[in-house]
Amino acid sequence: MNLFRIDASILPGTSASAELADAVQAEWALAHPDAPVERRHLGTRPLPADAWTLATTAAFTPAPERTSAQLEAVALAAELVGELDRADAVLLAVPLYNYGVSQHFKAWADLVINGAGATTPVLREKPTVLVATKGGGYRPGAPREGWDHSTPYLRRVLVDMWQADLTVIERELTLAATTPGMEDLRDEAARLHGDALDSAREAGRALGKAAARV
């Protein structure tokens, strides 16, 4: 039994997504106290930006002509797929950056797709929790409704491509407490923070139970 966790925050010291992922992981650990947790931090240890290109072009290069850089990238893609294959449960903490998905997470996802094949459901029925944090607000009626282009992408990949058994914990307005101009949103932000922590603990408990059944 093991949990595989990915973090993608570029600011790990103050990370709102890590706080929620920690809450998920703590509940998981109560159910599986001796189970290892394998971690990869994409924000502090990004994958090489050219790895996906190298792994992709390797497929179009006759084997004897592949460069060592291409071979390393192919091996890295296989290693990333192996991490998912070994996991009984998966936890992903991914912030919204510039209205899109973290480039570091995208580099990881592209390599996994390369290594596993685009039509392989690498997380088929695997209990998976996605924590998505955003500085602003994107709910229906918000001025920037529809500007969060990260969470829909993540759902598309995790559920539609990889067939994960997915629970999503979203926390919005994470910047309200510290950003001038967002003062009016602070009460709402505090409420959303509390709700997200409650949801994270609940998701962690469910993750522990679901992984035991797989």
Ligand X SMILES: Cc1cc2nc3c(=O)[nH]c(=O)nc-3n(C[C@H](O)[C@H](O)[C@H](O)COP(=O)(O)O)c2cc1C
Smallest gap from residue 16 Cβ to ligand X (A): 4
Pick from 135, 142, 201, 205: which binds ligand X (CB under 6 A)? 135
* Options 115, 127, 136, 204; binder of ligand X; rule CB under 6 A: 136
Tokens describing residue 6: 């990915």
Closest to ligand X by CB, 125 vs 187, is 187
Distance CA 199, CA 168 (A): 9
Q: Does 84 bind ligand X (CB under 6 A)?
A: no
Q: Interacting stretch for ligand X, rule CB under 6 A, among 27-35, 78-86, 94-102, 205-213?
A: 94-102
Return the residues of window 3-22 that contact ligand X according to CB under 6 A.
Answer: 9, 11, 15-18
DSSP string computed for 74-137: HHHHHHHHHHHHH-SEEEEEEEEETTEE-HHHHHHHHHHHHHH-TT--TTTT-EEEEEEE-SS-
The b/e string for 22-55 (b: 16+ C-beta within 10 A; e otherwise) is: bbbbebbeebbeebeeeeebbbeebbeeebbebb
In the bound complex, what is the minimum distance in angstroms from residue 93's beta carbon to ligand X? 6
Determine phi and psi for 3, rounding to 5 degrees: -110, 135
Q: Which is nearer to ligand X, 56 or 179 (CB)?
A: 179
Q: Which of 35, 78, 159, 175 binds ligand X (CB under 6 A)?
A: 175
Structure tokens, 199: 């949801």
CB–CB of 74/55 below 8 Å? yes
Rounded to whole angstroms, the Cα distance separating 213 from 39 reads 22
Distance of closest approach, residue 152 Cβ to ligand X, in angstroms: 14
Size of the site for ligand X (CB under 6 A): 17
Instruction: Verify binding: residue 99, ligand X, rule CB under 6 A.
Output: yes
The region of 27-35, 83-91, 108-116, 127-135 touching ligand X under the rule CB under 6 A is 127-135
CB of 174 to ligand X, least distance (A): 3
Among residues 103, 213, 118, 211, the alpha carbon closest in space to that of 160 is found at 118
* Minimum separation from the CB atom of position 71 to ligand X (A): 34
Where on the chain is the footprint of ligand X (CB under 6 A)?
9, 11, 15-18, 95-99, 133-136, 174-175
